[in-house]
Structure 1
Amino acid sequence: MPRDDASPPGLRHTQDLFYALVTGAKGVVHEQRMQEPQLGELQSIIAADERLSAVERLDIYATMYFCRLRDVLREDYPKLRACLGDDAFDDLARAYLSACPPTRASVRDVSEKLPGFIEGSQRGPASAGLSELAALERALIEVFDGPDTRVLELERLRGMSAQDLVTLPLSFVPNHIVLRVDHDVDRLWRAIELGSAESAICEKQTTVLIWRKDLVSCFRAVDALEASALDLALAGETFGGVCAWLSEGRSVDEAARIAHEILGRWVTDALIASGR
């Protein structure tokens, strides 16, 4: 049966109207005008008193809603915020939350689409560099929440025979991300920490390795040689296979030295799963 116009709105209808009014990008007053057919219901949903009207009371919730989610974005993207400045970051947060409102109850995923939003809504090298900086910050969150895995320890590596090393599978821990970007985000990150980010965005194809070691999210840029070795390892190549690839155009001793340096770095960084 259709609802009697004189009866109070149902719970779902009330929730939908409340959400639309509170989360509107341009504020409660603007959203109230957009909800014109339902305005007569507002007073029956939100009680006014001698101090505040229904709209004013809703506006308090709207301010709290934005501030809470903005604070989540600030916490997730401290380097991006430092690079942009507070006012520009807050403008970005408001535009982002309007275009990509949360779809889950947890605030953990509120910021997950921000790198793509920056990339899609702005143009030019500076904005591209900022979207890649945001992608790096998001990746640090992702690896921190990854599963725990037993890693290959340096002591065990040193005790392996030559044959064991040749057949060693280079299985990376699941809580790692390889980020390939067109700007030197590593340099930009360091410049932000030194307070000189204004002219630090420069075009440079960069491979960034992000992972968690113990309870700390880490990252570093890798050079072209290590990046190629990384691709081989992630494709399922053994340590012996990486050594064979490195021996092309190099002496056996030099290839072995480089391969051991790379493997030692990965093991020290707690990137290789133990396999047992």
Structure 2
Amino acid sequence: MNITTYLSEQRILVEKAMNRYMLKADEPFTEHIDAMRYSLFAGGKRVRPILCLAAGAAIDQSPATHENLLPVSCALECIHTYSLIHDDLPAMDDDDLRRGKPTSHVLYGEAGAILAGDGLLTYAFDLLSDENNGTLRPESRLKIVNLIAKASGSLGMVGGQALDIANENKEFPFETLKTIHRNKTGALITCAVLAGAIGADATPVQLEKLKIYGDNIGLAFQIVDDLLNATATTEQLGKAAGSDAERGKATYPAYFGIDKTRDLAKEAVDRAIDALADFDSNAEPLRKLASYIYTRSN
């Protein structure tokens, strides 16, 4: 399979679903919903929703499973987008550019951006918990809601971001950096894989293997982010390059240098692919996605 074609096709499917499920701007909340939609539809690779759909398809390729996972995948993208809006705020990473476009607070003000992020986060759980969205079994829906809540909260993504900010311009052990990466980025990526698998009624053994896969591609994703921040241009990234060093963030290149960091990212990808050894060709998109995460340029 051609990963570029696959990603393009899946991105179109996800964005059609987001258009279907996302709130439409209407009085008296027009500006607030406009701000939510601005960041949600401002581009992006849609890696998390695509991983969710790919994991589901690795277990069960029926149209019903695919349809059930579309609102789940949209919810994951809502949560990811909310995190980017808040990360870009002046009180956090203070970025004026995201995906080559002005960040939310530049256009809507800090309060508007904060509320847009809040709106996307809470709307994600509206999507997940609405029993009219698909035919997921109630116990599967509850598991997915709980999984995503934990992955995006204080013991997951939010906690990782808090730890990241608290340790700027400080020396700290490598174990702390691993914890930051595992939570700030890895938790929601692993969660996307497992949510898709749960929605497709994966067995406990399949879930265990997919967790190993998710943990390792999540690690690889953040390591590559560290690399790109240190080596790519602002034009390539669509956001400020070199910002990690400017803010005194500890990163894999800071600990290991560029070449060793590339090796560590490749090792994580190899472990992820190895975890899929017992899966058939239906898991080929997951294998290709792992390799793509290593070779991407933004």
**Which structure would you say has the larger RCO, counting Cα contacts within 8 Å and 6 or more residues apart?**
2
TM category, shorter: under 0.3
Q: Which has the higher helix share?
A: 2
Between structures 1 and 2, the one with greater strand share:
1
Normalization by structure 2: what TM-score?
A: 0.26
